Structure 1
Amino acid sequence: MTTQEVANQLVKLCREGKFEECIQSLYSPDIVSIEPEGGPWETRVQGYEALAQKGKQWNDMLAEFHSSDISDPLVAENFFSITMKSNVTLKGMNEPIAMDEVCVYQVENGKVVTEQFFYTPMPQPA
């Protein structure tokens, strides 16, 4: 698949809420996932198992998922970016929060090899 095809498929699957299918079909087994400093999980993980653990941590924090909006991809060579906007309620919080991030992906040989997320992390409880 070309970078544009990978980008289009990733957006389609994410919009459908098929995140596990997205990872299994589009990601390299050696995927590197990078989060900003100050968030609730490690800033850099590698491989399916570590990515699954990060996903589990996210799901464990989530009380309710209200909505999301995922942009069309912007593609340049073997990179693409999207924006993700979500409205969620986290466990222990009474009000929903709006989350807004830029996601950048690198594609090699038809697979996502790196994903990096840019957003302002929420303060973490002590």
Structure 2
Amino acid sequence: MTTEEVANQLVKLCREGKFEECIRELYSPDIISIEPEGGPWESKVQGLDALAKKGQQWNEMLAEFHSSEISDPVAAENFFSITMKSKVTLKGMDHQIDMDEVCVYRVEDGKVVTEQFFYTPMPQPA
């Protein structure tokens, strides 16, 4: 798959809520996932097992997922980016929060090898 094909398939699957299928189909076993410093999990993990653990941590924090909006991808060479906007309620909160992030992906040999997310992390309780 070309970078543009990977990008379009990732967006399609994410819009359908098929995140696990997206990872199985499109991600390298050695995926590197990078989050901003100051978030609720490690800022950099590598491998599908570590990525699954990060996803499990997210699901454990989530009380309710209200909505999601994913932009069309912009691709150049081996990279593509999208924006994701979500409305969620986290456990222990009594109101929805808006999440807005830029996601950048690097593709090699038809697989996502790096994903990096850009957003302002929420303050974490001490």
Question: What is the CA RMSD across the aligned residues, in angstroms?
Answer: 0.2
Q: Alpha-carbon deviation of 1:11?
A: 0.1
Deviations 1:27-65 (A, max 9, x none): 000000000000000000000000000000000000000
Percent of paired sites with the same residue: 83
**2:17 counterpart residue number:** 17
Instruction: Give deviations 1:86-111, integer Å, cap 9, x for gaps.
Output: 00000000000000000000000000
TM-score by length of 2: 1.00
2: CA distance between counterparts of 1:48 and 1:113?
11
Q: By how many angstroms is 1:18 displaced?
A: 0.3
Q: Residue 42 of structure 2 aligns with which residue?
A: 42
Q: How far apart, CA to CA, are the structure 1 residues paired with 2:47 and 2:21? A: 15
Q: Structure 1 residue 93 and structure 2 residue 93: aligned?
A: yes
Q: 2:77 is aligned with what amino acid? A: E
- Structure 2 gap segments, 5+ residues each: none
Inter-partner Cα distance in structure 2 for 1:77 and 1:51: 25
Q: What secondary structure is seen at the aligned counterpart in 1 of 2:56?
A: helix
Q: Report the count of equivalent residues.
A: 126
Report the equivalent of 1:59: 59
Partner residue, 2:113:
113
**TM-score using structure 1 length:** 1.00
Q: Secondary structure at the match of 1:10?
A: helix
Check if 1:75 corresponds to 2:72: no
For structure 1, which runs of at least 5 residues remain unmatched after alignment? none
Q: Which residue identity does 1:19 align to in structure 2?
A: F
